Amino acid sequence: MSQLFSPEAISTARASGKRLRIGELAKATGVTVETLRYYEHQGLLTAPARGDNGYRYYSPENLERVHFILRAKAVGFTLKDIEELLSLEVQRESHTCQEVKDMAEAKLAEIEQRMSELARMREALSTLTDACCGGPMSAEHCTILSALAEGEVHAEHHHHSPDMEALAQKRDSHSSGC
């Protein structure tokens, strides 16, 4: 588990010199080791120090960077975006707030774009579901299928007539549209 020094002793004494193997870093960040190697391959993580055995040994800075990546992912940035963000982050003083904020706002606009797309879908779909009775009768005149087939939703909400509801307990087609 531990390298030259016992991990507990080290962590209590000083966190700064602690070097993690890939599995430990994975556990610490909640991602898989494959993901960490993938991030390295993609240039999101700088190649960490290696031991004589070839193992990767990660510094606390590496750990921080993984957290950076995960936080950026959590707010909607793609890995490609994050690569860009990291290039800003590593040399902050040679970039401006404007550059950073522009990226964030562009991403915000992207997110809002996708949200309104989904909102449009939701409205259309909920109109469809509202019009369908959802009963155990034949879908022959189902308003959902009809709307998809014919391109228009017949806004008349479905109301089986009492007679039909009484009689058509199963599989009877309901002809009034559903």
Partner DNA sequence: CTCAACCCTAAAGTCAACAACAAGGTTGAG
Partner DNA sequence: CTCAACCTTGTTGTTGACTTTAGGGTTGAG
Closer residue to its own copies in complex, CB, 6/46: 6
Among 15, 28, 47, 124, binds its own copies (CB under 8 A): 124
Look up residue 141 and give its DSSP letter.
G
Q: Which does 56 bind (CB under 5 to 8 A by kind): its own copies, DNA, Zn ion, none?
A: DNA
**What residues between 105 and 134 interact with Zn ion by CB under 5 A?**
132-133
Q: Does 65 bind DNA (CB under 7 A)?
A: no
Minimum distance, C-beta of residue 47 to its own copies, in the bound complex (Å): 20
Minimum distance, C-beta of residue 99 to Zn ion, in the bound complex (Å): 9
- List the Cα angle 148/178/160 in 5-degree steps: 175
Among 11, 46, 78, 173, binds DNA (CB under 7 A): 78
Q: Does 30 bind DNA (CB under 7 A)?
A: no
Q: Does 147 bind Zn ion (CB under 5 A)?
A: no
Rg of the Cα atoms in the chain: 29
**What residues between 11 and 50 interact with its own copies by CB under 8 A?**
none
Token output for 85 = 């963000």
- Residue 27 has φ and ψ, to the nearest 5°, of -65, -40
Tell me which stretch binds DNA (CB under 7 A): 29-37, 104-112, 115-123, 153-161.
29-37
Q: Does 34 bind DNA (CB under 7 A)?
A: yes
User: CA-to-CA distance for 148 and 141, rounded, in angstroms?
Assistant: 12
Closer residue to its own copies in complex, CB, 34/99: 99
Minimum distance, C-beta of residue 27 to DNA, in the bound complex (Å): 9
Token output for 116 = 């309104």
Q: Smallest Cα–Cα separation from 71: which of 91, 92, 85?
A: 85
User: CA-to-CA distance for 85 and 100, rounded, in angstroms?
Assistant: 8
User: CA-to-CA distance for 50 and 59, rounded, in angstroms?
Assistant: 11
Q: Does 2 bind DNA (CB under 7 A)?
A: yes
User: CA-to-CA distance for 37 and 44, rounded, in angstroms?
Assistant: 10
